[in-house]
Amino acid sequence: MAESKKILNLQEELERLRRENLKKDVIINSTHDGMIAIDSDYRVELYNQAAEKILQIPRQEVLNRHVRDVIPNTRLHIILESGRAELQKTQEVGDITIVTNRVPVRDQNGEIIGAAAVFRDKTEVVELAEEITDLKEVRSMLKAIINSTQDAISVVDSDGQGILINPAYTRLTGLTEEDVIGKPADVDIAEGESMHYQVLETEEPVRGERLKVGPQKKEVIVDVAPIKVDGELKGSVGVIHDVSQIKRLTRELDEAKRKLRELQARYSFEDIVGSSDTMRAVINRAKKASRTPATVLLRGESGTGKELFAHAIHNRSDRGDYKFVRVNCNSLADNLLESELFGYEEGAFTGAKEGGKKGLFEEADGGTIFLDEIGKISKNLQIKLLRVLQEKEIIRVGGTHPLNVDVRMIMATNVNLERAVQKGEFREDLYYRLNVFPLTIPPLRERKEDIPPLVHNIIRKFNQEYGRAVEDCTSEVIEKLTEYHWPGNVRELENVIGQAMIHMQMEEEIIRPEHLPGLEIRDQPPEAATDRIPSSLEDRSLKEIMDETEKNLIIEALNSTEGSRKKAAEKLGISVRSLYYKMDKYGID
């Protein structure tokens, strides 16, 4: 009799645990926040429906896998190793913008047992109250995740009595667990009606409702959804957003978009694909560069990934939490580039902004400035740049007083600077200042063993951008790609794979040789270029012949990129602004 009672009690306890897990499963899925959590072995233990929808990576491809193998651009492994949280980081994901919080997860003894990311879509409200399974193994982590989110969460039972709030809720409303738990759902409402009651009555989610909550009448937007376990209504969960914070973030985002070429470094060394000996050597050398304040000169052909290395060096450096400002020195006229880099004083020139304007060196103070195509700047700007490198100070256009700046400089060029120095086109003293820590990135034709992993990485990238589900490519495709000499390097490889995926049928999952654009046309020998140059100089000047050749090359680039101005400009190695100018000059539609 006693044994039967013990078994009965055990069954009841198991049922209670099952229902408790199911309720927590629904809570974690009812929020529109995407949630990802990893354990101490970097394996994904939690990946909710919102994350699946935002990232467009199926759940079955993520769970129990190493996070770096399945989540592009993840930084969770860094959080796990450093133990430092990253809060309120704005990030672009496809066509939407998310705000993400990444935090370490600790046990009762303060030991790090994992890491979690909680992120939300700022542009739309994701469907709430979706179920997920298999969360029993992360029960101990679940509360830490809920408490880590910066969004306030409120949960009530089927009777409308408060059963759960998180610290963010208390910070927002000023109400503690003592004020809310076991109390009616409208206890926190200062103006308006509790959406919990409406959801419990209709069993339908409510999105984007404006209310005022707490004794300070904080203006908020709430999303509330029903919690159902096995089809039975068990309560509702609300996610509460601070309107003032949303407005502030929106203003900051708008301001960031207005700033010329300013961005947070998006890439790390983990995003650089390459296991060949040459690439490993360059990556290791770049990692050493990130640990020093020295000026870095990135050298290599167009399309090899110099900007990717610049991002990674900045991110790994002790300036990684500060601004990363990118400037293409070939995209602006000399006088405009000078005013953008160094700023100007009021009245410096006609149309100068009242009060003057900060330059990009001032904007990047404390962080990193990346000057791309540095070999193209004028002698006048070379002198000013030398002053920044030597004296760590700038003088605004029209100004007389020097301003101190603390900026780490990373330069990039595909120009032979030694030859430019010999020709007198580039200052020798500046060359030696720039060439403190040179890094030469090898062209793709010299590291063809990296083509297979690059192709798979590009496929994953374009699957997200194009909404496709391409899985792989055939060995014949890899062989064909390996035989090609890739004058446009990795950028051209991305173009080829992108075209192949666009031309595939939606149901096709494998890239085959027939999907590839005509590499044999692209792969003409260098001497073929001479066919474009007229053999006779009798009736035309050299300038006329060069103009005609340039026009033909632009038309060819536009045709090969299906009219894409941006891709054509990249293929030609010029800015989009310059391409439009030349198209107008030659009457190209």
β partners of residue 36: 47, 117
Domain ranges in the chain are 2-145, 152-247, 259-439, 444-522, 526-586
On whether the CB atoms of residues 348 and 356 are closer than 8 A, the answer is yes
- State the pLDDT at residue 455: 93
Instruction: Answer with the residue of higher pLDDT: 247 or 137.
Output: 247
pLDDT tens for residues 252-262?
A: 555 544 444 44
pLDDT of residue 249: 62
Whole-number pLDDT of residue 2: 60
Q: What is the CATH number of domain 152-247?
A: 3.30.450.20
Per-residue tokens: 309 = 């290395």
For 304-330, b/e burial (b = at least 16 CB within 10 A) is bbbbbbbbbbbbbbebbebbbbbbbbb
Answer CATH for 444-522 from 3.40.50.720, 3.40.50.2000, 1.10.8.60, 3.20.190.10: 1.10.8.60
Question: Which residue in 186, 118, 190, 192 sits closest to 156, CA to CA?
Answer: 186
pLDDT tens digits, one per residue of 455-470 = 999 998 888 887 788 8
- The pLDDT confidence band at residue 135, using thresholds 50, 70 and 90, is very low
Which pLDDT value is given to residue 314? 93
Mean pLDDT of 510-517: 89
pLDDT digits (tens, 9 = 90+) for 531-554: 333 434 444 455 566 677 778 888
Say what percent of the chain tops pLDDT 70: 82
| Domains 152-247 and 526-586 fall in the same CATH topology | no
Task: Say if CB 587 and CB 577 are below 8 A apart.
Answer: no
Give the phi and the psi of residue 391 in degrees, each rounded to 5: -105, -10
Report d(CA 328, CA 414) in Å as an integer. Answer: 13
Q: Could you give the 3-state DSSP secondary structure of residue 263?
A: strand
- Assess contact for 100 and 118: CB atoms under 8 A: yes
At 349, the pLDDT band (50, 70, 90 cuts) reads low
Token pair in block for residue 112 = 């790090």
Q: How many helices (H) and strands (E) does the chain have?
A: 23, 21
Highest CATH level, class, for 526-586? mainly alpha
Point out the least confidently predicted range of 14-23, 166-175, 534-543.
534-543
pLDDT surpasses 70 at 384:
yes
State the Cα–Cα distance between residues 134 and 148, nearest whole angstrom. Answer: 21
Give the per-residue pLDDT at 231: 85
Query: Which class is domain 2-145?
Result: alpha beta
SS (H, E, C) 467-501: CCCCCEECHHHHHHHHHCCCCCHHHHHHHHHHHHH
Query: Mean pLDDT lowest for which of 309-323, 342-356, 437-451?
Result: 342-356
Rounded to 5 degrees, what are φ and ψ at 306? -65, -40
User: Would you tell me the crossing angle of helices 489-503 and 451-466 to the nearest 10 degrees?
Assistant: 50
Contact status, residue 121 vs residue 32, Cβ threshold 8 Å: yes
How far apart (Å, rounded) are the C-alpha atoms in residues 59 and 266? 24
What are the residues facing 285 on neighbouring strands? none
What confidence category does residue 133 fall into, taking pLDDT thresholds of 50, 70 and 90?
Answer: very low
Q: Residue with structure tokens 């199911």?
A: 22
pLDDT tens-digit map of 478-491: 999 999 999 889 99
Of the listed ranges 5-19, 144-158, 231-245, 422-436, the least confidently predicted one is 5-19
Question: pLDDT (tens digit, 9 = 90+) per residue, 287-330?
Answer: 999 998 899 999 999 889 999 999 999 999 988 888 898 888 88
List C-alpha distances in Å: 290 to 59, 68, 354, 409.
35, 21, 39, 11
pLDDT for the residue numbered 130: 40
Question: Distance between CA 47 and CA 35 in Å, rounded?
Answer: 6
What are the angstrom distances between the C-alpha of 309 and each of 284, 298, 299, 416, 520?
11, 8, 11, 19, 31
For 281, phi then psi, to 5°, come to: -65, -40
Query: Which CATH code is given to the segment(s) 259-439?
Result: 3.40.50.300
Q: How far apart are the first and last CA of the chain?
A: 92
CA angle at residue 279 from 374 to 527, to 5 degrees? Answer: 65
Distance CA 362, CA 528 (A): 48
267 vs 309: CA distance, rounded Å: 8
In 424-465, the DSSP E strands lie at 437-440
pLDDT value of position 134? 43
According to the model, what pLDDT value does residue 348 have? 65
